[in-house]
Amino acid sequence: MQAIVRPTYRSWCAWQRNRDVYLKQWKTNGLAFFFEPVLLYIIMGLGMGKVIQDIEGMSYREFIGPGLVAGYVMQIAVMENGWGTYFRMAVRRTFDAMIVTPVSIEDVITGEILWGATRGALTGFVVLLIIAIAGDVNSPMALLVIPAAFLTGLVFAGASVIYTSQAPSSDFIGPFFSIIIYPMFFIAGVFFPIGELPRALEVFAWCLPLTWSVDIMRHLMEGEVNVTMLWGTIGLIALSTFFYAVSLVLMRRRLIR
Amino acid sequence: MSPVIHAERLVKRYGGFTAVDGVDFAVEPQECFGILGPNGAGKSSTIRMISCVSPVTSGRLLVEGRDVMLEARAIKATLGVVPQEDNLDEEISVIKNLQVYARYFDIPSAEALRRATEALALMELTEKRRAAIDTLSGGMKRRLLIARAMLNKPRIIILDEPTTGLDPHARHLVWQRLRQLRGQGATMVLTTHYMDEAANLCDRIAVMDQGRILDTGTPQQLIERHAGKEVVEVRVAPWEKEHGMTALNGKARRTVDAGDALLLVGAEGPGLEASLAGGKAEVLRRRPNLEDVFLLITGRGLK
């Protein structure tokens, strides 16, 4: 077809399709997504909170809350655009049904990534709400956590679509979690300050997009603004744009033959 | 009138494999054009190029005068595509499937609901309106796919093996509905490897094998051209086939091995039986069908 087919407003139809299906299933599995982060927040707060009274001037719960928001935004987006995208693409052949209409494959993929980011933002919102109810949010700036969650979602949704575009089978999706996503979750400063890590590992941690996101979330909930956050935001925007562009190319290569 | 779909030296290659090897055909307005061939003949590749989801390797393919490589979106808006595999949204109800699909064509929601209701009625699925997809039978799913393909009021309906996997009753229901759609003036292109389907639905048929179109015509023309008015089928045991071929030599214009039988075209009248293994073979004189045509053109059966 044309060398570059630009996505259009029809991406929105693809997003709406996923929303409609999600809302239909919402009673059965739609609410489970925030159970894990909230559980971690409560249990770790109760246990570790006793041991650690003060961590960078915060209680332990105040410290991990924003980290869990970022970490689970990542995980939900990766799930949605890992197994979810694979399922729609290869099992149900939903994409095949869509691209014989005026919707192009670029529209479909754009809708997929926006949907993954939306799921991420929704997770961010719900977890933030619970943290706020628990009294661990110290600034109205925390509202900016929601757009930050959407941006974080975009980065990982794009990365996940890229990974999924190369998947020969659904078994291929699991390792993305065990090799990339979970290690990132443990090293990105969710549970402890990365400054405590050996120097080399600390530098490595700062190269990870989740670290930027955790840092942004934490400062927003504390009501502080600093220059690292700005760099983090620029980094997330740049990375999400890059991943998005690559995902379009790879998905077209896979599906338009 | 210019053709609705026009292919010139159309080629599709996947890497080193040539699926469609330079075909020419023209689909006329309001006709039902069938592409008949075995699996792997290049039928689906041709259909996918017409549907603008598979790039043309070389040659030219125009749909209503538009080049599929340049105006995919505009062409796709006028097509109704019924896929070979069911790709319905299983998580949502029948009516919701149609509503979601209508959005892809920018059909406003009130209009979409109206058209969806109409399409369900036409496909006799009105009672299934709120049903979950996995409660539908194979035939119902296929009819729902057809209903879905009608939402944008397509001028061209494309069906890739519309009844593969359906039981005879369900097939006839689908055929009835397709004839009704044709009556409403849409142009139809369908692929099939069932000769009865081609004979039942199609005004003209292109016989396709190994990426090439071997002949095109109305079912009657094809039959007369290749098989004449009558064929003789001689059932022989596999070990007697060779002997039979020799014995029948010169008794017919053409003798072809049809697997479990020998097929004779232009056979001479009586006395045929006598020349066969002492008259033990089963001999059947009958009207030729498209399956014979395929066998005679390619030298192989359809399946």
Mean pLDDT by 10 residues, chain A (257 residues): 68 96 80 87 94 92 97 97 97 97 97 98 96 94 97 98 97 95 97 96 97 97 94 98 97 94
Give the pLDDT confidence score for residue B253 in this predicted structure. Answer: 83
B64: pLDDT confidence band, cut at 50, 70 and 90? very high
For residue B233, count other CB atoms closer than 10 A to its CB. Answer: 17
SS3 B270: coil
B265: pLDDT confidence band, cut at 50, 70 and 90? confident
Residue B68 burial (C-beta neighbours within 10 Å; 0-12, 13-18, 19+):
buried
A94 to B87: CB separation less than 8 angstroms, yes or no? yes
Nearest CA distance, B9 vs chain A (angstrom): 18
Nearest CA distance, B41 vs chain A (angstrom): 17
Domain boundaries, chain A: 66-255
SS3 B205: strand
Give the pLDDT confidence score for residue A219 in this predicted structure. Answer: 96
Give the residue on A whose Cα is nearest the Cα of B54.
A257
Residue B57 scores a pLDDT above 90: yes
Give the pLDDT confidence score for residue B250 in this predicted structure. Answer: 76
B246: pLDDT confidence band, cut at 50, 70 and 90? confident
Give the pLDDT confidence score for residue B248 in this predicted structure. Answer: 78
A93 to B103: CB separation less than 8 angstroms, yes or no? no
Residue B244 burial (C-beta neighbours within 10 Å; 0-12, 13-18, 19+):
buried
Question: Which residues of chain B neighbour A87 with C-beta distances below 8 Å?
Answer: none
Question: Which residues of chain A neighbour B72 with C-beta distances below 8 Å?
Answer: 1-2, 5, 104
Q: How far apart are CA A82 and CA B221, in angstroms?
A: 53
Give the pLDDT confidence score for residue B271 in this predicted structure. Answer: 65
Element (H, E) at B287: none
Residue A13 is nearest to which of B52, B73, B104, comparing CB atoms? Answer: B104
Give the pLDDT confidence score for residue B300 in this predicted structure. Answer: 72
Give the pLDDT confidence score for residue A1 in this predicted structure. Answer: 42
CB B218 within 8 A of CB B192: no
Question: Which residues of chain A neighbour B102 with C-beta distances below 8 Å?
Answer: none
- For range B226-248, the mean pLDDT: 83
Chain centre distance of CA A74: 3
Residue B131 touches chain A, beta carbons under 8 Å? no
Nearest CA distance, B149 vs chain A (angstrom): 9
Residue B109 touches chain A, beta carbons under 8 Å? no
B269: pLDDT confidence band, cut at 50, 70 and 90? low
Contacts of B203 (CB under 8 A, 6+ apart): B31, B32, B33, B218
Residue B1 scores a pLDDT above 90: no
Residue A90 touches chain B, beta carbons under 8 Å? no
B89 to A257: CB separation less than 8 angstroms, yes or no? no
Question: Which residues of chain A neighbour B132 with C-beta distances below 8 Å?
Answer: none
SS3 A186: helix
Q: What is the pTM of this model?
A: 0.93
A21 to B152: CB separation less than 8 angstroms, yes or no? no
Residue B303 scores a pLDDT above 60: no
- For range B53-81, the mean pLDDT: 97
Residue B176 burial (C-beta neighbours within 10 Å; 0-12, 13-18, 19+):
exposed
Residue B104 is nearest to which of A1, A20, A98, comparing CB atoms? Answer: A98
Give the residue on A whose Cα is nearest the Cα of B73.
A102
B85 to A20: CB separation less than 8 angstroms, yes or no? no
Domain boundaries, chain B: 5-218, 230-286
Tokens of A208: 């990870």
Residue B96 is nearest to which of A20, A92, A98, comparing CB atoms? Answer: A20
Residue B276 scores a pLDDT above 70: no
- For range B118-140, the mean pLDDT: 96
Residue B237 touches chain A, beta carbons under 8 Å? no
Tokens of A68: 């869990």
A13 to B53: CB separation less than 8 angstroms, yes or no? no
ipTM: 0.91
B273: pLDDT confidence band, cut at 50, 70 and 90? low
SS3 A112: helix
Element (H, E) at B284: strand B282-286
Of B302, B295, B280, B287, whose CA–CA distance to B236 is shortest? B280
Nearest CA distance, A257 vs chain B (angstrom): 5
Average pLDDT of chain B? 91
For residue B139, count other CB atoms closer than 10 A to its CB. Answer: 18
Give the pLDDT confidence score for residue B277 in this predicted structure. Answer: 54
Tokens of A153: 């979602």
Domain B5-218 part of CATH 3.30.420.40: no
B90: pLDDT confidence band, cut at 50, 70 and 90? very high
Residue B281 scores a pLDDT above 80: no
- Ramachandran class of B30: left when φ > 0, alpha when ψ lies in -120 to 50, beta otherwise: left
Residue B126's identity, in one-letter code, is T
Q: pLDDT digits over A165-183, tens only?
A: 999 999 999 999 999 999 9
Q: In terms of pLDDT, which residue wins out, A162 or B240?
A: A162
Q: How far apart are CA A252 and CA A106, in angstroms?
A: 7
Q: pLDDT digits over B137-194, tens only?
A: 999 999 999 999 999 999 999 999 999 889 999 999 999 999 998 888 899 999 999 9
